[in-house]
Chains A and B, each alone.
Chain A
Amino acid sequence: MSVHTLSIDGRPVAVEAGASLLAACRGAGIALPTLCHLDGLTPVGACRLCLVEVEGQARPLAACVSAAAEGQVVRTDTAQLRQFRRMAVELFFAEGNHLCAVCVANGACELQDLAVAVGMDHSRFPARWPRRAVDASHPLFTLDHNRCILCSRCLRACDELEGAHVWDIAERGEHCRLVAGLDQPWGEVAACTSCGQCVDACPTGALFRRQESAGDHQPRRDRAAVLQQARQQKLWRNQGEVPP
């Protein structure tokens, strides 16, 4: 096994070759904020919250999609990075309609937690208040586009773990939105197995169980990692222990 040695926030860190900078940071006990990342799914570098500075690079890099390399000097907590991260979270709040007080995910929302983590007490950007739909056509689950941040975790969970690929992101710019099937009502998409992995992967309250009301949402966000691990280790419920 070949190993890379690098410096993160002044600390020497050794990681397996091929590991991402995010994995290297976590291995060193540095908790980088993330939103589109979910253990068990392919990283996409969409949310830009895990930005780090690497000496010799003109621009900050998204740690989740950057490989750790020998001799890198990485900084994760500079004034500029803190400013970028807070700005990113403020933009998320300004972009959609995020009302924590009346959201199913109040108390279990990664966006709400991130606002705390980056010290956001208000958004300096004027809220757009877009008019967005709610898709309540599925018998078990609901999609509220108002709360969707387009992280694509649902899409990847459905595609990579369930193999159903119900979800896609359609259109561009401010019109970007999550679509089910061929832009159909979710309940009419035959490919959906109603497994609920998209619901458990969602960082906000955009995907939830029908009966849930404000503050009820309790997603199992470790489900993707558990499934991916079980698959790698060929462990299934009827063939031994399920990994923790």
Chain B
Amino acid sequence: MSPTRQPPKPRLATVWLAGCSGCHMSFLDLDEWLLELAERVEVVYSPLASDAKTYPESVDICLVEGAVANGDNLAMARILRQRTRVVVAFGDCAISANVSGLRNPWADGAGDSAATVLERAYGELAEAEGLAPPDGVVVPRLLERVLPLHAVIPVEVWLPGCPPSPARIRLVLEALLEGERPRLEGPQGLRFG
């Protein structure tokens, strides 16, 4: 008699784009429920709980913190979309660009806010000339505008908050692990900020 095979655990990833990591910190505030979560899922990619350097195939749920502000963010968003069943825009930056998007109003005549902030940081405020990072060689190139996640890839679930409360994160994860669509309602469930 062969031993009964356990069904494979859902594969969970978390990704950190242009955000302050506050959403991930709030995730950590789930405290002892994290032990339960660790029993129920396999964490396959995450700045918190995985050493994996490349985003794996066949991910079931991915929490994406942060806006899309540079070329790396954009490439990562596209990769995770291809390899993930349910993408969650995790927190206000992923949902609206939020604080990460504060450079957007400073676009120049051609609609490019990256040029303005680079000139400000490496030109007007710099003590020496020529300190600006070489374009796209060492650090990723800034996009002209900081964008919410759903502006670059389709998103299944929006989980608002700056950061979302641990209870709200748990509500979403528990629903998704049950195969249900999370129902975020009322000030406990929705609310920006």
Q: Could you tell me which A residues sit within 8 Å of B by CB distance?
A: 93, 97, 99-103, 106-107, 112-113, 115-116, 119-123, 126-127, 129-132, 146
Give me 7 other A-B pairs in contact (C-beta within 8 A), A101-B99, A119-B190 excluded: A99-B99, A103-B193, A112-B193, A116-B190, A122-B155, A129-B145, A131-B105
Q: Which single residue of chain A is at the shortest CB-CB distance from B190? A: A116
Q: Are A122 and B89 in contact (CB under 8 A)?
A: yes
Q: Are A129 and B98 in contact (CB under 8 A)?
A: no
In the bound complex, how far is the Cα of B161 from the Cα of A101, in angstroms?
8
In the bound complex, how far is the Cα of B158 from the Cα of A95, in angstroms?
20
Q: Which of B24-32, B126-134, B181-189 is near enough to bind chain A? A: B181-189
In the bound complex, how far is the Cα of B158 from the Cα of A123, in angstroms?
10
Interface of A is mostly: loop
Q: Which single residue of chain B is at the shortest CB-CB distance from A146? A: B105
Q: Are A100 and B105 in contact (CB under 8 A)?
A: no
Q: Are A101 and B193 in contact (CB under 8 A)?
A: yes
Q: Which of B118-167 contact A (CB under 8 A)?
A: 145, 148, 150-151, 155, 158-160, 162
A selection of 25 A-B contacts at a CB cut-off of 8 Å is A99-B92, A99-B98, A99-B102, A100-B162, A101-B92, A101-B98, A101-B99, A101-B192, A101-B193, A107-B193, A112-B191, A112-B193, A113-B187, A115-B191, A119-B185, A120-B190, A121-B160, A121-B184, A121-B190, A122-B148, A127-B97, A129-B107, A131-B106, A131-B107, A132-B105
Q: Which residues of A contact B105 (CB under 8 A)?
A: 97, 129-132, 146
In the bound complex, how far is the Cα of B92 from the Cα of A100, in angstroms?
9
Chain B nearest CB from A90 CB (Å) reads: 10
Chain B nearest CB from A98 CB (Å) reads: 8
Q: Does B104 count as interface, using CB distance less than 8 angstroms?
A: yes
